[in-house]
Structure 1
Amino acid sequence: MTTTGHPQLTAAIVSEIEAAGPMPFVRFMDLALYHPQYGYYMRPPEAGTERIGWSGDFYTSSDVHPILGQALAKQAEQIDAFLGYPDPFTVVEMGPGKGLLAKHFLSACHARGSGTLQRRLRYVLIERSPAMRAIQQQHLQPWLERDGLVSWLEDIDSLPHDGTVGLLFSNELIDAFPVHRVEVSGGVLKECFVDYRDGRFVECLLPLSNPALAEYLTRLGLILPDGYRTEINLRARDWMASVAGSLSRGAVLTIDYGHSAQDLYGPDRARGTLLCYRSQLTSEDPYTMVGLQDMTTHVDFTSLALAGQEAGLSLTGFTNQMSFLMGLGVEEMIGRLEPESPEFFAALHLLQPHGMGRTFKILVQHKAMTDPQLDGLTFKPFFGSALTATSRGHHEAASAETVGVRR
């Protein structure tokens, strides 16, 4: 076997292909990232290394500076007030990474006093990886001593249906959902499958494994040209429906890099957005270093908004990370830092217009709240109206958004 990657994982994938034939790319990506024993996210990192962070394969906003967690805590206080100070007020973080964002959120709530919120707050982390849960528990150790404050669940469906009052949010979760890859060939939409030949993984185009793939594009009013390749994230729609179903009253914040559908499936992305990350370097080859590298794609926020709307969520607003932080007083937060210090420049990194500040978007939805005017949506960049129009069924709206670096 000449294929590179985690040996037991690649052997498991090859065995499945040999037994059942070529597998849809979505299955390959699922095994590479989430195989119960050998998947990239499921097994512990090697001793002395980290998977996420400055010395890992990639970093997230919470690795840069606590300011995002501080802003989310401030936004949660406002949502708590809109809801009439419920007891408990539950914050659910889905895909919590190393637990740093939870740590920053809880620390900010404690530092701010937060009125009675500290007494009423319940923080739930949704995490199915035992390896990641162990890391989260290390970072949240001081908060685990407070009875009932922090708890874990394996998946969003473990929450009581229509029973959560508060805030549900995710940060860089959906970009790592396994996706279908499709390509228009000879005027026909086909799907990318993965085969194993001559000691390596190879691609082949076959008929669609799921009719929902063609329906996904039709629903968005999109006709792709011949040769166009892209990704379709069906799991994201199902996930959003589960999120909406678990919420009784409150808000949902989805933070990730991505675009409105018109931008994501535009001519500038005719080869898709799939990227792999290892040691801070990017690659477009998912068939090497299998299980040893992260794989991500950009998020279709239009379809998320539509899925939420169909499941009972109302669209509150759509903005980018820079605008969200500005609305929640990031200038005041930065003003408390020592000028020219490493912490000062780290905080600015989250606001860079040609970096994380505009690359990351924030979709806000709500349920059983009357037109909440949230501070995080005070400043809305020009592309927000495009998502709003499209999510209401008007596919002609589009934006000219430009996107820079990822993560």
Structure 2
Amino acid sequence: MPVSTWREAMERALYGPDGFFVREAPASQFRTSAHVSTLLSAAVATLVHRVDAALGHPDTFDIVDIGAGRGELLESLRIQLSDTRFRLTAIEIADRPAGISADIGWLREVPAGTRGLIVATEWLDNVPVDVVRRDGAGVARLLLTDGTLGPEADPETVDWLGTWWPDFEQAEAGLTRDRAWRAALAGHTGLALAVDYGHTKDQRPFFGTLTGYRAGRQVPPAPDGSTDITAHVAMDSLSTGESVLISQRDALRALGITGARPPLSLAGTDPRRYLRELVAAGEAAELTDPGGLGGHWWLLEGRGVDVARCFP
């Protein structure tokens, strides 16, 4: 493969004609919260109802899933939300999968003028970014895929680093992710939810987080399209409006997903219900595990609605 910047490599390796996410279903490579349990969609459905009320129950309510994989979250929401006002749309670069419900739209870009809820679950970590490293003089330079240093980072990237990630040896400049998130929300009215693993300014890693995944295992990132290429998201730099930033563990607990085990006495009176609730408790525990998925961040951003009306 030709030597390039990591942003160019990510764009080509993940989203090119034979890119990783064009070929591979995300669920075949790693587990996101949407793949673990329908409890995530239940929490999202609760948000839908609250945003719907905040918007005054519009004639059409958009539910847009950016980076939808193969539509797993939307399929679950379709079952839980029977109101025909709800219009479900997947945003995904891969072709529409066979067998997905006909009433789920499939687009490559967020449509204009959406009104309702936008969800992006582990999308931003795969938005290509420039990886920078300081040289011997302390100058931020673009890291190339062969490990050498390229040209100096451009002034906008340097400004972003100075504001959001001033202390680093190697870092992923989140400017492209900030722009992608804001572009996705342009013209949107309602609530937007980004769920991802990330960090905030007071906890930025000194050496960055660039890595790869293949078949559920962490591997070195490969620019040839054979691996996922990902890096944690600078979550606090994304929003420019009214927003809430909270861990997935705390967000789900606020929405009633606690992971509490059913009482053992239920096994004697209603064993089937006991087993169902025990399975649900295990799934909730995985979703809220602070050392795993529960450590992901939820960014809830309001556009024309009060976030406090939609999220407790």
The answer (yes or no) to whether the contact 1:26–1:180 under 8 Å persists in 2 is yes
Question: SS where residue 238 of structure 2 aligns?
Answer: helix
Deviation of residue 341 (structure 1)?
Answer: 4.5
Which stretch has the larger CA shift, 25-34 or 325-334? 325-334
1:153 aligns with 2:153: no
Letter of the 2:12 counterpart: L
Among candidates 149, 166, 173, match of residue 205 of structure 1: 149
Deviation of residue 219 (structure 1)?
Answer: 2.8
Distance 2:235 2:258 in 1: 28
Letter of the 2:208 counterpart: G
Q: Deviations over 1:195-239 (max 9, x none)?
A: xxxxxxx2210223533211111233x5335xx111113321111
Q: Partner of 2:269 in structure 1? A: none
1:39 aligns with 2:39: no
Letter of the 1:42 counterpart: V
* 1:287–1:332 Cα change, 3 Å: closer
Relative contact order, CA 8 A, sep 6+: which one is greater? Answer: 2
The answer (yes or no) to whether the contact 1:184–1:224 under 8 Å persists in 2 is no
Give the structure-1-normalised TM-score. Answer: 0.69
Q: Partner of 1:173 in structure 2? A: 123
Letter of the 2:213 counterpart: Y
The answer (yes or no) to whether the contact 1:73–1:106 under 8 Å persists in 2 is no
Distance 1:215 1:188 in 2: 13
1:62 aligns with 2:6: no
Distance 1:337 1:258 in 2: 36
The answer (yes or no) to whether the contact 1:320–1:361 under 8 Å persists in 2 is yes
- How many corresponding residue pairs? 301
The answer (yes or no) to whether the contact 1:41–1:129 under 8 Å persists in 2 is yes
Q: Partner of 2:309 in structure 1? A: 373
The answer (yes or no) to whether the contact 2:34–2:41 under 8 Å persists in 1 is yes
Among candidates 202, 206, 219, match of residue 163 of structure 2: 219
1:94 aligns with 2:66: yes
The answer (yes or no) to whether the contact 1:177–1:233 under 8 Å persists in 2 is no
Deviation of residue 108 (structure 1)?
Answer: 1.7
* 1:77–1:257 Cα change, 3 Å: same
Q: Partner of 2:174 in structure 1? A: 233
Distance 1:360 1:210 in 2: 30
Distance 2:279 2:115 in 1: 38
Which residues of structure 2 form unaligned runs of 5+?
263-272
Letter of the 1:326 counterpart: R
Question: SS where residue 119 of structure 1 aligns?
Answer: coil
The answer (yes or no) to whether the contact 2:261–2:278 under 8 Å persists in 1 is no
Letter of the 1:224 counterpart: D
Q: Show the 5 A alignment for 1:258-407.
A: 258-264=198-204, 269-283=205-219, 285-287=220-222, 290-305=224-239, 309=240, 313-315=241-243, 317-331=244-258, 338=275, 341-357=278-294, 359-370=295-306, 372-375=308-311, 378=312
Deviation of residue 322 (structure 1)?
Answer: 1.5
Distance 2:251 2:72 in 1: 19
Which residues of structure 1 form unaligned runs of 5+?
1-13, 46-50, 111-117, 195-201, 379-407
The answer (yes or no) to whether the contact 1:337–1:344 under 8 Å persists in 2 is no
Among candidates 82, 94, 98, match of residue 129 of structure 1: 94
Q: Deviations over 1:278-324 (max 9, x none)?
A: 122212x2237x3121111101111102xxx2xxx322x11111111
- Name the Cα RMSD after superposition: 2.2
**How many percent identity over aligned positions?**
27
Q: Partner of 1:403 in structure 2? A: none
Q: Deviations over 1:223-256 (max 9, x none)?
A: 335xx11111332111122123130x21111111
Deviation of residue 331 (structure 1)?
Answer: 4.2
Q: Deviations over 1:117-137 (max 9, x none)?
A: x0211111111211xx21xx5
Give the structure-2-normalised TM-score. Answer: 0.89
1:256 aligns with 2:196: yes
Deviation of residue 342 (structure 1)?
Answer: 4.2
1:190 aligns with 2:141: yes
Deviation of residue 261 (structure 1)?
Answer: 2.5
Deviation of residue 352 (structure 1)?
Answer: 1.3
Distance 2:129 2:179 in 1: 13
Question: SS where residue 182 of structure 2 aligns?
Answer: helix
Distance 1:302 1:337 in 2: 41
Deviation of residue 66 (structure 1)?
Answer: 0.7
The answer (yes or no) to whether the contact 2:236–2:245 under 8 Å persists in 1 is no
Q: Partner of 1:48 in structure 2? A: none
Distance 1:340 1:244 in 2: 37
Distance 1:274 1:105 in 2: 32
Q: Deviations over 1:347-405 (max 9, x none)?
A: 32111122211x21100111112453334xx3xxxxxxxxxxxxxxxxxxxxxxxxxxx
* 1:344–1:332 Cα change, 3 Å: closer
Question: SS where residue 203 of structure 1 aligns?
Answer: coil
* 1:282–1:245 Cα change, 3 Å: same
Question: SS where residue 42 of structure 1 aligns?
Answer: helix
Distance 2:160 2:274 in 1: 46
Letter of the 1:239 counterpart: A
Letter of the 2:275 counterpart: E
* 1:327–1:340 Cα change, 3 Å: closer
